[in-house]
């Protein structure tokens, strides 16, 4: 059986939005959908970062089942018998439960913010923690259409940082754009503080002017996109090269996009940094669903 798209269900409206998005995506990708709700049964910690007390619910198991039942109803909105939906009621902490599920998942989908005490924390949120540690791509859902409205139909935007770190994100962006029949907008934002892509002087030592730098950065982007157009000939690619911070430009592009795709770490990240500054910024400010892709992908 194909690896499923796993979606976290906590009873919040944003989690139900995540179910709607995940159901459509699972159907397009011909993958099963797996709904996961978590019963908080005991005090726990995640990564020794924060401590969680035991909430006082009269019957947490029944509450979890009610959440799953509501999520099944939302998934059924796709109205297609080809979609296989399963569920799981886990015990423990939501982050740990979702990370365990991510080991065998094609994608993990969460709402942009959960419910109650799980909405905020030292790590930021469940979505932040899963984006940092999941063993598969993580989609954080916000800004999608209301129930009954048509789904978002804008392009798929992908951040290209000029290094091999962005290759998995480029692959996901082209695959998603192909499945949805939309364009890819490939964004490469450069800054003259980055030595890896800012060509501030010519070989003879003379200063390069901005047009020359921009031309060089266009070459960087073209090199990273090489081969993808051949693999996906029906996908139109729009190339955007700007002198700006990557997060600022990607947030601007997200206003008209149906999805923004980025790598977990960018060119400026240290190996020990599990979530780069651009990805972290987009988690809080993107105006459409965000897909964060690590080097570990299940194809």
Q: What is the pLDDT of residues 40-94, one digit of tens each?
A: 765 444 544 444 444 455 578 899 999 999 999 999 999 999 999 999 999 999 9
Q: Whole-angstrom Cα distance, residue 102 to residue 124? A: 19
Q: Where in the chain is the domain with CATH 3.40.50.620?
A: 5-141
Average pLDDT, the chain: 83
Q: What is the per-residue burial (b if ≥16 Cβ within 10 Å, else e) of 95-126?
A: bbbbbebbeebbbbbbbbbbeeebbebebbbb
Of 26-30, 196-200, 239-243, which range is least confident?
A: 196-200
In the three-class reduction of DSSP (H, G, I as helix; E, B as strand; rest coil), residue 276 is classed as coil
First CA to last CA across the chain, in angstroms? 13
User: What distances in angstroms separate CA 247 from CA 4, 184, 221, one per listed residue?
Assistant: 30, 17, 17
Class of domain 156-293: alpha beta
Q: What is the mean pLDDT of residues 159-164?
A: 88
Q: Given a cut of 50, is residue 222 above it in pLDDT?
A: yes
pLDDT of residue 59: 75
Beta strands 33-39; 85-91: pairing state? parallel
Q: How confident is the model at residue 24 (pLDDT cuts 50, 70, 90)?
A: very high
| Alpha-carbon 199 to chain mean position | 31
pLDDT of residue 35: 98
| Alpha-carbon 108 to chain mean position | 9
Of 111-125, 201-215, 245-259, which range is least confident?
A: 111-125
Q: Given a cut of 90, is residue 204 above it in pLDDT?
A: no
pLDDT of residue 193: 53
Q: Tens of pLDDT along 233-270?
A: 999 999 999 988 999 999 999 999 999 999 987 554 43
Q: Given a cut of 80, is residue 209 above it in pLDDT?
A: no
- Is 244 or 122 the better-scoring residue by pLDDT? 244
Of 116-125, 131-140, 173-182, which range is least confident?
A: 116-125
- Is 114 or 36 the better-scoring residue by pLDDT? 36
- Is 299 or 134 the better-scoring residue by pLDDT? 134
Q: Where in the chain is the domain with CATH 3.40.50.12370?
A: 156-293
Of 37-51, 137-151, 191-205, which range is least confident?
A: 191-205
Q: Given a cut of 80, is residue 108 above it in pLDDT?
A: yes
Homologous superfamily assigned to 5-141: HUPs (3.40.50.620)
pLDDT of residue 272: 37
- Under 8 Å between Cβ of 184 and 171: no
């Amino acid at each position: 059986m194909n690896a499923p798209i796993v979606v976290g269900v906590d009873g919040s409206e944003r989690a139900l939005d995540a179910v709607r998005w995940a159901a459509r995506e699972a159907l397009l990708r011909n993958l099963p959908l797996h709904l996961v709700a978590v019963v908080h049964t005991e005090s726990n910690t995640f990564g020794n970062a924060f401590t969680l007390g035991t909430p006082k619910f009269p019957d947490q198991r029944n509450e979890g089942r009610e959440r799953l039942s509501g999520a099944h109803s939302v998934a059924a909105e796709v109205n297609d018998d080809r979609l296989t939906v399963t569920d799981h009621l886990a015990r423990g902490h939501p982050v740990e439960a979702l990370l365990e599920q991510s080991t065998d998942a094609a994608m993990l989908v969460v709402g942009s913010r959960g419910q109650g005490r799980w909405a905020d924390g030292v790590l930021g949120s469940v979505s932040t923690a899963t984006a940092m540690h999941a063993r598969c791509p993580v989609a954080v859902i916000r800004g999608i259409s209301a129930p009954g409205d048509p789904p978002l139909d804008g392009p798929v935007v992908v951040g290209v940082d000029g290094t091999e770190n962005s290759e998995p994100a480029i692959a996901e962006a082209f695959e998603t754009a192909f499945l949805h029949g939309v364009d890819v907008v490939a964004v490469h934002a450069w800054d003259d503080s980055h030595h890896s892509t800012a060509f501030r002087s010519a070989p003879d030592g003379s200063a390069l002017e901005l047009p020359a730098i921009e031309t060089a950065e266009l070459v960087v982007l073209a090199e990273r996109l090489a081969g993808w157009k051949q693999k996906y000939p029906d996908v139109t690619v729009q190339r955007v090269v700007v002198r700006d911070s990557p997060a600022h430009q990607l947030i601007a592009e997200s206003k008209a996009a149906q999805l923004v795709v980025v790598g977990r770490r960018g060119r400026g990240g240290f190996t020990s940094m599990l979530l780069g500054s651009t990805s972290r910024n987009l988690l809080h400010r993107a105006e459409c669903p965000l897909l964060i892709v690590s080097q570990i992908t299940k194809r």
